[in-house]
Amino acid sequence: MNSRIFTAAALALGVSLSANAHAETFRWSASTDPQTMDPHAANLAPVTSFLNNIYEGLVRRAPDMSIEPSLATEWKPLEDEDGWRFVLRQGVKFHDGSDFTADDVLFSYERGISEQSDVRSWFAPVQEVRVVDDYTVDFVTKAPDPIFPESIANWMIMDRDWAAANNSTMPAKDQPTFATLNTNGTGPFKLAARDPDVQTRLAVNEEWWDEPQHNVTEAVFMPIGSAATAIAALVSGEIDMLQSVPVQDAERLRSLDGIKTLEGLEARVIVLGFAHDHPALYGSLETTGKNPFQDVRVRRAVASAINVDAIDRVLMNGMAEPASQLVPAGLSGYSTAHSSRPAYDADAARALLAEAGYPQGFSFSLRCTNDRYLNDDAVCQALTGMLAAVGLKAQLETMPVRTYWTELREDRFDVFLLGWSPGTFDAEHPIRFLVHTPSNTLGTWNFGGYSNARVDELLPMVQQELDPAKRQAMLDEIAGIVQDEMSYVPLYVEPLVWAARDAIDVVQRPDNFFMLRWVQVKG
């Protein structure tokens, strides 16, 4: 594994997680508020991270990112068919006191594969789910699927009866439902009060099935969009921890008495994506009736025009790492055979554009977030300047992440910024979501409609292959195709910086998920 990605998590393992008698209210902040409390409505890290404190899955990740039991106590491959059997934990209660049973797992699967669900890609390999008894569930897959248990680590189980009683049987993706603002999980914390974009209060679940490793009596989340305001709140003691620290502030925070930082690399690659399937540009001032980005030479020109080292040096304080593919080096399935990324070469970019028939370049729409990734607004401003230097005139528009995904799903872009963290910590994950031809359950985040028949052919083979060498060979082939066709331009692996008051012990996971169950507030 990439040592920089896992350093913070490894160091955090040294923190004592034993509960103590002294208990406190814990307050923390990040730049983005989770947009919904519905665990199947938005497959977004701020949502999934937050709701992992309230809802639980059959399995979960430990501080070292290994898979461990949660609502399932054990799992094993089926004997006479492809798939997995999960034995469920008995005696678990939802927050409203109702019993957790296999029927809730079946309901959560049915809800998760619905058209409104944003997590249905997780179940693309599943053919059938069978309830064997109240505490045994079989997931029958279309073929052998060795990583299926890991692939559902963030799938959260809901109570069928609660959802039905509150008209929330379908995910609240397009229209809000009761589940948008309310929850009923089995996890260590319960939702006490929700004021979107202002404050969310969590109470301790005193009936939680697991032994608490925290000493928090109440947790309060306060999203703060302004970095300066958030840091001031941390320094003054208004909040105890800040989950999104600008890299340019890390050095100053390290020097402050009473404040500590946790630093590493997030397992997230920042990329540029293209509108592959658009017949014409969406936002060009002069190019009509055609889409230059359908020409691989133009996409390669974009890659050659970008100086990733300069972005790292100036905007990331040297804390990022240039990326060559859709997963960081060190993760399972990473292709060492394709570890080189295009060199910064403005002259080569101009030559490629001329060869493609655009010697003067052209204008186009570039869409970016301004509150989702580290320095995303500044990064896109820098990208705009670099691309302009070779004749690619980006009409840049930045916007809050709350409206960003809608813009992309409505095809209102030519080029877009995206960060991707593989939930399975395996290279198969971004192929399934970002590279496979879009369908009902696959390519659900492939906004640009990239399509390659060989990739589509290889993906199910990768998902089924048990031999590590054969599987890696197929992943290498896919990485080569993605690079050769420049379906995306990988930029860098994002730095991960948190800050907390000295009295706070937390575990920083490389997926940037924050788990309250490991928080210790020292007296």
Q: What is the per-residue pLDDT across 156-168, written as a single tens digit (0 to 9) for each?
A: 999 999 999 999 9
Percent of the chain with pLDDT over 90: 85
Nearest one of 25, 140, 133, 136 to 77, comparing CA atoms: 140
Q: Identify the three-state secondary structure at position 388.
A: helix
Q: Given a cut of 80, is residue 495 above it in pLDDT?
A: yes
**Average pLDDT over every residue of 79-106:** 97
- Asked whether the beta carbons of 249 and 231 are under 8 A apart, the reply is yes
Q: What is the pLDDT of residue 15?
A: 40
Long-range contacts of 176-181 (CB under 8 A, 24+ apart): 176/36, 177/38, 179/36, 179/37, 179/38, 179/41, 180/36, 180/37, 180/38, 180/41, 181/37
pLDDT digits (tens, 9 = 90+) for 340-398: 999 999 999 999 999 999 999 999 999 999 988 989 999 999 999 999 999 999 999 99
Q: Given a cut of 60, is residue 91 above it in pLDDT?
A: yes
Query: Which pTM was predicted?
Result: 0.80
Query: Of 52-56, 89-93, 330-334, which range is least confident?
Result: 330-334
Q: What is the pLDDT of residue 23?
A: 55
Q: What is the pLDDT of residue 124?
A: 87
* H-assigned helices in 419-520: 428-430, 453-464, 468-485
- Asked whether the beta carbons of 153 and 59 are under 8 A apart, the reply is yes
* C-alpha gyration radius of the chain: 23
Q: Given a cut of 60, is residue 14 above it in pLDDT?
A: no
Q: Identify the three-state secondary structure at position 126.
A: strand
**Average pLDDT over every residue of 178-206:** 97
**Average pLDDT over every residue of 166-177:** 92
The torsion angles phi and psi of 132, rounded to 5 degrees, stand at: -80, -45
Percent of the chain with pLDDT over 70: 96
Q: Identify the three-state secondary structure at position 474.
A: helix
